[in-house]
A and B are shown apart, each in its own frame.
Chain A
Amino acid sequence: MSNATLKSDQLFINLGPQHPSTHGVLRIGLTINGEVIVKAVPDIGYLHRGTEKLAEVRNYHHCVVLTDRWDYVSAMPNNLVFCLAAEKLMGVAATPRANALRVIMCEMNRVASHLLFFGTYGIDLGAYTPFLYAFREREMVLDLFEMLCGARLTYNYIRLGGVMVDASSEWLKRTMEFVEYFKPRLDEYDTLLTYNPIFMARTQGVGVVTAREAVDWALSGPNLRGSGVDHDVRRADPYCGYENYEFDVPLGKTGSCWDRYFCRVQEMRQSIRIIEQAIEKLPDGPFMASGVAKIPKPAPGEAYAHVEGSRGDLGIYLASDGGISPFRLHVHAPSFINLAMLQEKLVGMKVSDVIALLGSIDIVLGEVDR
């Protein structure tokens, strides 16, 4: 019997906002015909806190605290990108030691963030075990963060002109121990999930985004590279001395969910490489630049800075009118922009594949809604 003769009513279902697979408060209004999605309407804004507005009455040091709350799974790049933009406005440059520490922290945060992705993506697709392994290692990264700056998620570690505290030799030793411990774990993950036949069947060939589409949707980060587009901000527009480190940019081939997943797992390996090099070459000297005012008043002007965050190209547009607060702060949030393709990509997919695609985009709703 063909579809035309077998008549069925269309059904509207809400996915979320309290669904564990939506990784936060995302609602998708799905209209389904049998198992096939006819229409998908993502509904965001449940976590909108108006940080762009709040920044307009806070001074630049206070704004760093706001940045932690966007992407709370990897807050270091958020701190960094705001500081880079504000430093451009103020004409201050961070010291070499601060730059190296910033690189170490951002890469460690990338590892922690991708571990969260790795664990929860497994759960989304019915593999519970990898989650336990991923969180075992993620705890270690968070413990190292806690040891250095006292916080596990919202660090406020990277400050205007440098970093909050210097890393002690004891901390560097513990970090190197973690790096040595972590390297073989990556192979363990591959046997647990990456090459698991069931996992591959659920993700390969599902949710394919071609390179052309990825550019059209302005995707960034592993979502763009999963489609085979070779673009990494650390390469294209280096900051904090990334040009001095050796690392590869892992690329996917087909742009399916598995490719995006695979890019992230490979990126952890590269992050570990960068951390090793940065600790080895860590220069001596002050960890905070001199000349940063207690209440900075940058000259009128505009600046844009962007970094390769854990989720993609995180950018800040900052305009100053010469006052003590930013005149305008705009966040180019990768999660928000990556999520926009959902409304079109979901149409025609099966309901069970929705979670596979949504998980592979790796969104954090704090950043989507800001």
Chain B
Amino acid sequence: MTNDEIFAKIQEKFPKIEKAAVQVKNYLTVRLASKDDLMAFAQCLKDSSFDMLETVTATDLLGPVDMKGYIRQQNFNPLLPEGATPQIEAAATPGYPYRPVMDLLWVFFSIKERARVFVRLEVPRENVSVPSLTPLFKSADWQERETFDLLGVRYEGHPNLVKILTPDFTQGHPLRKDYAHIKDRFDE
């Protein structure tokens, strides 16, 4: 099935859904209007053979990454002379629409149709909270914990929303663009 056919099929069942402005290359990408639609839309996808929730993740669209989030020096090439321009600078690209938004992503897959749907939802990046998909898909469990750990997205209704990858003493959520590393006992 082509992306347009899949979209027509989904739209028939859930008319409120829209195509996203930026499509993930070669896959159908749709955008939810608000987080209230999420559960209903996920249920609708599950009923129309998209029974595998492949990925749960998010992107912080605040801006270029903050170099304070890294323990090592910015200029990590020892061969460069002192005071030389750093090799990699986290610089903003002119023209890119940075905004204080958390862009959430879910990927649904249908084994029967061999089709994949990328579902996006933009929410303000402070105190992000969206419904958890754990009642519908078991695979959401660890992936939502991971997104919570790394990006600070709270999934309401998750049975066990605790850190999973970073150590207990890590403060903050490392993949947020404004994350600044706080020195701990493992730094020199």
Binding site for B on A (CB under 8 A): 44-45, 48, 50, 52-53, 56-59, 88-89, 213, 215-218, 229-231, 236-237, 300-304, 313, 315, 317, 319, 321-325, 327-328, 330, 332, 336-337, 339-341, 344, 369-370
Interface of B is mostly: loop
Interchain nearest-CB distance for B132 vs A (Å): 14
* B105 interface contact, C-beta 8 A: yes
Interchain nearest-CB distance for A159 vs B (Å): 19
Cβ-defined contact, B105 with A369, below 8 A: no
Interchain nearest-CB distance for B90 vs A (Å): 6
Cβ-defined contact, A322 with B93, below 8 A: yes
Cβ-defined contact, B25 with A89, below 8 A: yes
Instruction: List residues 96-128 of chain B with CB under 8 A from any CB of chain A.
Output: 96, 98, 105, 107, 109, 111, 114, 118
| 8 A-B residue pairings within 8 Å (CB atoms) | A215-B111, A301-B25, A317-B55, A317-B105, A322-B93, A323-B91, A341-B138, A370-B165
Q: How far is the CA of A350 from the CA of B22 in the complex (A)?
A: 50
Number of interface residues of B (CB under 8 A): 49
Stretch of B6-14, B35-43, B46-54 with 4 or more beta carbons under 8 angstroms from chain A: B46-54
Chain A to chain B: the 3 pairs with minimum beta-carbon distance, closest first? A218-B139, A322-B93, A303-B25
Cβ-defined contact, A300 with B93, below 8 A: yes
Binding site for A on B (CB under 8 A): 22-27, 29, 51-55, 57, 59-60, 64-65, 67, 69-70, 88, 90-93, 95-96, 98, 105, 107, 109, 111, 114, 118, 137-139, 141-143, 146, 150, 163-167, 174-175
Cβ–Cβ < 8 Å partners of B109 in chain A? 218
Q: How far is the CA of A301 from the CA of B29 in the complex (A)?
A: 12
Q: Given A52-B150, A337-B139, are A229 and B111 neighbors across the interface (CB < 8 Å)? A: yes
Apart from A304-B24, A323-B64, list 14 A-B contacts with CB within 8 A: A44-B164, A45-B165, A45-B166, A53-B175, A218-B109, A302-B24, A317-B24, A317-B55, A317-B105, A321-B98, A322-B93, A328-B59, A340-B141, A341-B138
Q: Which residue of B lies closest to A344 (CB)?
A: B138
Q: Which residue of B lies closest to A370 (CB)?
A: B165
Query: Of B22, B57, B139, which contacts A317 at CB under 8 A?
Result: B57
